[in-house]
């Protein structure tokens, strides 16, 4: 396994795990599902973005379905979140942070994988964003909410920023662990600033106004 492949794998597994935590906590908070529903929503959130990415890119069957570690981490994240949800007082904050981490990591890895498969610049950016927002969009649709990517100004934008930095680094031939983490950090910081300072678009349901 090349170092680059290991980097991809590690980032992908991290993204999978945090999205599983996020999806499962969302299931507890927003829809008050029981344990099977919680773990199921965690898995769909965790594996959704990667499956969409791999299906679109033609890397079939998706990595998720060839490597048991994705499966194990998604289930473990869901179970851990179910257990933690009884302890966490600030569920909302944890949900937001895990979502931002998953968004950041998946934007970078989706972009680098699309570039490795030889897609052009615009499609690569698009696939990076789709990978990043895919799992969360599936999560929101399944629990009957307007997806975050549509409601929040600073959700697609930070993912796009991370994708742009990633593809820039690849083109400049300086893509590696530092560039990947830097791109993910930029996405994470923009997203969290947006959440912290309420830089969101008006919610269509009018709930948060």
Smaller CB separation from a second copy, 3 or 204: 204
Smaller CB separation from a second copy, 65 or 182: 65
User: Would you call 208 helix, strand, or coil by DSSP?
Assistant: coil
* Least gap, CB of 188 to a second copy (angstroms): 18
Smaller CB separation from a second copy, 93 or 205: 205
Tokens 């968004």 correspond to 103
DSSP 15-39: HHHHHHHHHHHHHHHTS---HHHHH
Smaller CB separation from a second copy, 3 or 58: 58
Phi-psi region of 67 (alpha: psi -120 to 50; beta: other; left: phi over 0): beta
Residues that bind a second copy (CB under 8 A): 27, 30-37, 40-41, 51, 55-58, 60-62, 64-68, 71-72, 114, 117, 119-123, 126-127, 137, 141-147, 149-153, 155-157, 201-202, 204
* Least gap, CB of 41 to a second copy (angstroms): 6
* Least gap, CB of 90 to a second copy (angstroms): 21
Tokens 């999806």 correspond to 23
Q: For residue 90, how many other CB atoms are within 10 A of its CB?
A: 9
Task: Give the whole-angstrom CA distance, residue 180 versus residue 186.
Answer: 10
* Least gap, CB of 181 to a second copy (angstroms): 25
């Amino acid at each position: 396994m090349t170092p680059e492949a290991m980097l991809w794998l590690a980032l992908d597994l991290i993204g999978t795990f945090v999205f599983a935590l996020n999806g499962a906590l969302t299931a507890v908070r927003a829809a008050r599902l029981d344990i099977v529903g919680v773990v199921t929503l965690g898995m769909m959130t965790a594996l959704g973005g990667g499956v969409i990415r791999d299906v679109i890119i033609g890397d079939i069957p998706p990595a998720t379905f060839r490597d048991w570690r994705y499966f194990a981490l998604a289930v473990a994240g869901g179970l851990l979140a179910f257990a933690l949800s009884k302890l966490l007082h600030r569920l909302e904050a944890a949900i937001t942070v895990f979502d931002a981490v998953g968004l950041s990591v998946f934007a970078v890895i989706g972009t680098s994988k699309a570039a490795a498969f030889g897609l052009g610049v615009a499609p690569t950016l698009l696939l990076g964003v789709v990978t990043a927002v895919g799992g969360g969009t599936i999560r929101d649709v399944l629990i009957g909410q307007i997806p975050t990517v549509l409601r929040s100004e600073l959700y697609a934008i930070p993912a796009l920023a991370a994708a742009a930095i990633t593809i820039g680094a690849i083109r400049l031939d300086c893509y590696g662990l530092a560039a990947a983490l830097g791109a993910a950090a930029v996405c994470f910081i923009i997203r969290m600033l947006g959440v912290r300072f309420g830089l969101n678009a008006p919610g269509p349901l009018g709930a948060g106004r």
